[in-house]
Amino acid sequence: MAQPPSALAAGSVGTVETRYLDLPKPIRLDCGRELPAVRVAYETYGILSPRRDNVILVCHALSGDAHAAGFAAAPPAESTRDGFGAEDRDGTAGKGLGWWDGMIGPGKAFDTDRFFVVSTNLLGGCGGTTGPSSIDPATGRPYGADFPVITVADMVRTERAFLDELGIERLAAVAGGSLGGMQAFQWAVMFPDQVDAVVAIASTHALHPQGVAWNAIARDAIMRDPAWQGGHYYGTGRAPDAGMGVARMVGHITYLSAPALNDKFGRRLQFADDIRYTITEPEYEVESYLRHQADSFVKRFDANTYLYTSRALTYFDLARQHGGGSLARALEDLSARTLLIAFSSDWLYPPSASREIEEALRALGKSVELQVIDAPYGHDCFLLEEARQTPIIREFLSEHGLSD
């Protein structure tokens, strides 16, 4: 539970500690297998109303975790604050800040003076929820690549089972960006009578082929690293850090736009006086930046979790999975009011994907609002443009009676 703010900035939920809950029943998965023992890492912010009707579930993207807001009681060695320029923006405090701290707290987009905000680490994660690095009770060893292949629907089933244990039956809203937005839609489709509103930011109903391809390259980089060892590298003293670093560099570039990279780096050399005539070391500032991103990421994230989560988000396809190929048919039972936010420079989850969802919902007579924000940072905008998203989200929640 969040503690009262102390010396933190105004609007902070204070110092928080990640908690853990062991689910009492197995989770049945789309692949046909069953996970017999699932632990969920989570944090909560705000106060649960007596009627338990003010709950907002926040879902994270590929590299996130349960620590969405406030300052971690035990700050990690490496910051989990993703987003272009996050280190410049956050300074040393960034190592303890939640990944969406600017959006969750008193008076923020997800106002903890009004809402009880719940954030979990997704199934397959490496932030405390059961995943490939967890112990397989059948063998007493880490699952590794024996962990079952999971889907976004499996993540949502796990979240539903977790909320059952908290005694929460209904959600005022489900919100998230990127993969988090996919989870929000999955919630609204799988449990249409349990979700009042969806806030999906920089997301899609199905990743386009170029996005699938980039994810495949990132996964291949990990699996081609000899240190991956078929996914069973735990306890060997070797991990696929080289492949994981390349995967992170590939992924990071897909989250950015060409103008953002040009503005920050241009073609500036690492050493201003001249090139060094080397094929092994960074010559340009942008190359050095990518190496730094890779080195930081491998210290805090598990390669197998990357593989499983990346595969899950590429499988996600509402039309195929729920509509027999029709997006409208997949959404016809959805009753949640929907807010879509997209960003003009996001080519990985482009505004056109959100427009397709908007058009399908409007054709069905559903309540939907689309806001496209003109911003230069690419997909990372959902982590960076907090100030511009906040009034949109606050107004949406207020208009639909979700603010009191």
Q: Could you report the per-residue pLDDT of 309-364, keeping only the tens digit for each?
A: 999 999 999 999 999 999 999 999 999 999 999 999 999 999 999 999 999 999 99
Counting Cα atoms < 13 Å in the Cβ hemisphere of 315 gives 19
- pLDDT confidence of 6, banded at 50, 70, 90? very low
- pLDDT confidence of 11, banded at 50, 70, 90? confident
- pLDDT confidence of 4, banded at 50, 70, 90? very low
Q: pLDDT tens-digit profile of 121-174?
A: 999 999 999 999 999 999 999 999 999 999 999 999 999 999 999 999 999 999
Q: Which residues are catalytic?
A: 178, 346, 379
**pLDDT higher than threshold 70 for residue 398:** yes
Nearest one of 74, 4, 80 to 45, comparing CA atoms: 4
Domains and CATH numbers, the chain: 208-315 (1.10.1740.110)
Cα–Cα distance for residue pair 16/72, rounded to 1 Å: 5
**pLDDT higher than threshold 80 for residue 87:** no
**pLDDT higher than threshold 90 for residue 399:** no
Question: Which position has the higher pLDDT, 268 or 75?
Answer: 268
